Structure 1
Amino acid sequence: MSLKNWIISTCVVVFTSSAVPLLAEQGAVLRTITVIGEADVSAPPDKAVITLGARHSAASAADALAKTSEAVEAILLRMKALGIDSKDMQTASLNLNPLWRERSRDDDGATLPPVGFEAYNTVSVTLRDLGMLGDVLDQVTREGANSFSGFQFGLIDPGPVQDAARKGAVSEARRKAELYAAAAGVSLGEVVLITEELNGGGGGFPSPMMEMSSVRSSPVPIAQGEVSQRASVKVIFAIAE
């Protein structure tokens, strides 16, 4: 997997030459420079998580649930036939709701019964071969999938990309610390503390919400782009005496 050069974020908070309650061995207050370093590393995705399903309504709850279950069973069988492992398919939600009239009560104030029921069953599927994505969406639509809750690209193993972002964040922190030290007319000392900030983390495409059309004659076009991993660190440097 090829990695792009890390991209530096310019949104930082800096406290220069500030005294913090860290004591040197001799008991004197240690003068420090504190900086935030951030970096993003991008890479082509190698997996996608899609959430799709079937939604059907009927006069009775049993019929609505039966229609939806039949469609989802056909979807799962089609995915297995395409070579998708069972462990990569999981039911995400199952809902059964009444469909109410515009008026909830009659002229006497009595509650009116629902006009029918709607069942909705969604399945979350992890695709580890992105070359199949468009074809999978096309074929499951033919099998009865009529609702698509979204998808998100990602990395099967984000560790190497995340580590590259961490290294980039530390390098950026040192670059800024050296800049501030030079501007202040002091020399940068050793690293006193490194803390990984909680606002770092993985990235990816947002999950779009849309309804799937009934039948398609060709695979759905999908633009994969890239996903990114972000790292943010706070580094405290001593000011050399």
Structure 2
Amino acid sequence: MLCRFRLPLSRVLARFRLLAALAAVVTASATPGAAQDFPRLKDTLPSITMTGEASVEVVPNIAIISLGVETERPNAADAASENAKATQAVVSDVKAQGVEPRDIRTLGVTLLPVYDETTDSNGRVVKRTLRGYQARNDLSITIRQIEKAGALAQQWIQKGANKFGGVDFDYDQKDAKYDALRGDAVRDALRKATSFTNGLGIRLGRVLEIATPGGPPRPFAATAMLARAAKSEAVAIPLEPGVQTLRVEAEVSWELAQ
């Protein structure tokens, strides 16, 4: 919890009028070009700053799956061609399952030489032999029917996706939740500030500044990293979204008044 009185409490009331008058003089004498050189209003007046917090737990309803198709062949052209065909087969099945094009995104396409290395007794590479070429296409697929995500991921592995990069979970109504949390966080800051000023015989005046010291949390990621996806058995990949905690902080500064 953040609480800052900009002046010592014992001197707040005595210096209130002096600082207010001084701030008025400074403002009146400032030139427009030098306005950025003057302190913020909350730094020139008796003030109190509090940080309010608010949070809520939500159940994710979106799964974002990362899949890849990797192909290795002796010839670069063959590796690229076969990888393109295998990737297209996966993408076609993704669309056939009702996933909209906007929810299918290519993360990267690569074609790299692959070498076999011979090392000496000290582990130093003494010989590199070209073995072939590796083509890879990585995809991100957003599934809005989260209960189907595990079965669909396994199905696409069966279709040729031999790399499984994991899964992230998200929630599609975060903006509305954050809007409500911002109001709750400001009210929490007001409650805390009032608890300090009530016992001092002073009251809160106008709001001088509202800031957000921390940004919104990143979506909770429950990532399962597999070096190569197993294709031996068509069993749905178990995916448990759990809950996300959405949290907002609001830092509010008030002028102290008599």
TM above 0.5: yes
SS of aligned partner of 1:62 = helix
Q: Does 1:229 align with 2:211?
A: no
How many residue pairs are counted as aligned between the two chains? 225
Q: Residues of 1 paired with 2:199 and 2:51: CA distance?
A: 17
- 2:199 and 2:157 mapped to 1: Cα distance? 62
- 18 and 98 in structure 1: CA distance in 2 versus 1, 3 angstrom threshold: farther
Unaligned runs of 5+ in 2: 9-15, 25-43, 120-125
Give 1:140's aligned residue: 156
TM-score where L is the length of structure 2 = 0.76
Is the 8 Å Cα contact of residues 203 and 228 (structure 1) preserved in structure 2? no
Report which of the two has the higher share of helix: 2
What TM-score, normalized to structure 1?
0.81
Q: Which has the larger radius of gyration?
A: 2
Alignment-mate amino acid for residue 225 of structure 1: G
- CA drift at 1:215: 3.5
C-alpha distance 203-184 of structure 1, shift in aligned 2 (>3 A): farther
Within the candidate set 86, 96, 100, 1:85 is matched to 100
For residue 85 of structure 2, give the secondary structure of its aligned residue in structure 1: helix
**1:16 paired to 2:31:** no
Quick check: 1:240 aligned with 2:257? yes
Q: Aligned match of 1:58 in 64, 73, 76?
A: 73
Which residue of structure 1 aligns with residue 234 of structure 2? 217
Distance 1:95 1:186, change over 3 A: same
Task: Provide the secondary structure at the position in 2 that maps to 1:220.
Answer: coil
1:111 to partner: Cα distance: 7.8
Aligned to 1:48: 63
User: CA separation in 2, counterparts of 1:113 and 1:99?
Assistant: 9
Q: Secondary structure at the match of 2:147?
A: helix
My pick for the range that moved more, 133-142 or 63-72, is: 63-72
User: Is 1:124 matched up with 2:124?
Assistant: no
In structure 2, relative to structure 1, the CA distance for the partners of 1:31 and 1:148 (3 Å cut) is same
Aligned mates of 2:72, 2:141 — CA distance in 1: 24
2:84 corresponds to 1:69 = yes
Long gaps (5+) in structure 1 = 1-11, 105-109
Q: What amino acid maps onto 2:76 in structure 1? A: A
Task: Supply the distance in 1 between the matched residues of 2:162 and 2:7 (Cα, whole angstroms).
Answer: 60
Identical pairs, percent: 29
Measure, in 2, the Cα distance between the counterparts of 1:53 and 1:116. Answer: 19
Question: Which amino acid is the alignment partner of residue 219 of structure 1?
Answer: A
The one-letter amino acid of 2:192's match is K
Q: Which amino acid counterpart does residue 69 of structure 2 have in structure 1?
A: A
Query: What is the root-mean-square deviation of aligned Cα atoms in Å?
Result: 2.9
Does the CA-based 8 Å contact 1:127-1:133 persist in structure 2? yes
Aligned residue for 1:53, secondary structure, equals: strand
Note the alpha carbon deviations across 1:66-120, whole angstroms, 9 max, x for none. 332222111111111111112211211011111122249xxxxx98552212111
